[in-house]
Amino acid sequence: MKGALPAACCAALLLCLASCGDAKGKKKMEKPVNAQTATLAGGCFWGMQEILRALPGVLETTVGYTGGHTENPVYEDVKTGSTGHAESIEIVFDPAKLSYGAILDMFFKMHDPTTPGRQGNDVGTQYRSAIFYRGEAQRAEAQAAVERAQASGLWKRPITTEISPAGKFWPAEEYHQDYLKKHPGGYTCHYIRE
């Protein structure tokens, strides 16, 4: 057939597309078999995502809602505080490159875990500090991270971070995803404290 690519070329092209990205040119990251997920809440999810996505070993970040009682929550409801959900971030990471404990240590440096239901100008239960653990190992590491953070001297008041089992996580609306990448200089109350 005139103009047809040889089979070897087609196979090489398909292999390249599978490993290099999708048809839109987006780079795809291969998730390792042992990839893990962490779910954290610490105020407005925009700033949390901006800091956490930059950690080496983080494969994906998604902002969303969890920890409440409303099915299929939307931002307009979550922002009222009536759903019980917290603005949260789900982090998929490679534990061979980044430990769960290291993520939690950064978490305690980037938000104030001593202000129940508040981060900066954001007030309400939807802005609470929380770690939503998956399994006993994550629960134990969360408790150890709270103790490390309290002992660090960075926080003078008691840490009030909620430690709860992870439940259903609902991704937030698309306009919230990667918000500070789309809107550099947009609102955030997150920064790294040393």
Cβ atoms of residues 182 and 96 within 8 Å: no
Host domain of residue 107: 29-182
Count the domains in the chain.
Answer: 1
> Which phi and psi (to 5°) does residue 174 adopt?
-55, -35
pLDDT value, residue 29: 57
In a domain, 166, yes or no: yes
Do the domain assignments include residue 22?
A: no
Q: Identify whether 44 is a catalytic site residue.
A: yes
In a domain, residue 75? The reply is yes
On whether residue 156 sits in a domain, the answer given is yes
Q: Which residues pair with 88 in a beta bridge?
A: 41, 64
Please tell me the distance from the alpha carbon of residue 98 to that of residue 172, in angstroms, as a whole number. Answer: 25
Sequential pLDDT tens for the chain (194 residues): 344 434 443 333 333 333 334 333 333 457 778 999 999 999 999 899 999 999 999 999 999 999 999 999 999 999 999 999 999 999 999 999 999 999 999 999 999 999 999 998 899 999 999 999 999 999 999 999 999 999 999 999 999 999 999 999 999 989 899 877 888 887 788 888 88
- Residue 42 CA to residue 56 CA, distance in Å, equals 20
Out of 9, 20, 44, 189, the active site residue is: 44
Task: Tell me what pLDDT residue 113 has.
Answer: 97
Separation CA 99–CA 186 (nearest Å): 29
Residue 147 lies in a domain: yes
End-to-end CA distance of the chain: 66
Distance CA 189, CA 75 (A): 18
State the CB neighbour count (10 A cutoff) for residue 18: 11
User: How crowded is the C-beta side of 102, counted as CA atoms within 13 Å?
Assistant: 12
Residue 159 included in any domain: yes
- What is the rounded distance in angstroms from the CA atom of residue 70 to the CA atom of residue 66? 9
Say how far apart CA 123 and CA 53 lie, in whole Å.
Answer: 24
Residue 21 lies in a domain: no
CATH number at residue 112: 3.30.1060.10
Classify residue 18: in a domain, yes or no: no
Q: Read out DSSP for 42-62?
A: ES-HHHHHHHHTTSTTEEEEE
In this structure, the number of other CB atoms found within 10 A of the CB of residue 37 comes to: 17
